[in-house]
Structure 1
């Protein structure tokens, strides 16, 4: 989130170890590649290797897009964990 002090991280989703699933989900998010007037939140795709974060992507979204994305991620992770898709 953009703040007066810069970018502040306040939440994350652990999508598991299936990189293909994480990338598919990330590309399905409602967000923009470029910053717009409504961009208030960034969603980063980060791969961790031995605890070291490696940025894989950065998307910008509005509050409305964020709420849609949280629902989407929650639904897809739920399905993956409970329905073994």
Structure 2
């Protein structure tokens, strides 16, 4: 990790300055989880939807679901921006089973379109 060459006396504190490569290590993912009443959330699926923020936000904005959970059991889709390997939450939807099915079909279609028709790289999940 690089730190800039400014002394603490010059700016009051040292701050982290990521390199250009580290900024490029950004990707967007959508996870699929379930949670019962009083239970811990269990994540059982994850989609990598590329490194283009506009496309990723457009995909997540077109998914079906509610922003609030109105029942004890929940199927949850969460949108994350991963910066240098750390997930930063950007959005969450609570879905019914039918909505989850439609969302997964839509995400799969969009990943296919991005990777094959627009010839962009979709990095595999590690």
Normalising by structure 2, what TM-score?
0.62
- Asked whether the equivalents of residues 66 and 95 of structure 2 are also in contact (C-alpha less than 8 Å), the reply is yes
Given that 1:33 and 1:58 are in contact with CA atoms closer than 8 Å, whether structure 2 keeps it comes out as yes
Deviation at 1:80, TM superposition (A): 1.2
How many residue pairs get aligned? The number is: 85
Q: Which segments of 5 or more consecutive residues in structure 1 lack a partner in the other structure?
A: none
Contiguous gaps of at least 5 residues in structure 2:
1-33, 120-126
CA contact (8 A) 2:35 2:73 kept: no
Give the C-alpha shift of residue 5 in structure 1.
Answer: 3.1
Q: Which residue of 2 aligns with 1:76?
A: 110
In 2, Cα distance between the equivalents of 1:34 and 1:5? 17
Is 1:44 the counterpart of 2:81 in the alignment?
A: no
Counterpart-to-counterpart distance in 2, 1:39 and 1:31: 14
Q: Which entry has the higher C-alpha Rg, 1 or 2?
A: 2
Query: Which deviations, in whole Å up to 9, do the C-alpha atoms of 1:25-56 show, x marking residues without a partner?
Result: 00000111121239621111101111111101
Aligned to 1:18: 52
Query: TM-score normalized by structure 1?
Result: 0.90
Q: Which runs of 4+ in 1 moved over 4 A?
A: none
Between Structure 1 and Structure 2, the one with more helix by share is 1
